[in-house]
Amino acid sequence: MLILRLLVVLVAIGGVASYFAYLFTGRAAYMRVAKNLARFALVAVLVFFALLLLERVLIPVF
């Protein structure tokens, strides 16, 4: 779980850095990278919350 949290934070930092690089340079490649990282971050956050929900459901059973 700690690794997943770290992954989400690193992806978010990379996305923000890429977006600022796009703002300063105007190169579309940076915006494309930021969009891809945002998509990946969304999937990682959904997996994180799914695991939290799964823990809440399964832990009381055991």
Q: What is the pTM of this model?
A: 0.74
Helix (H, G, I), strand (E, B) or coil at 23: helix
* Alpha carbons 52 and 56: distance in angstroms, whole number: 6
Model confidence pLDDT, tens digit, residues 8-55: 889 889 999 999 999 999 999 999 999 999 998 899 889 889 988 988
**How far, in Å, CA of 13 to CA of 48, rounded?**
17
> Two tokens at 48?
């994180």
State the total domains in the chain: 1
Residues of the domain holding 20: 2-58
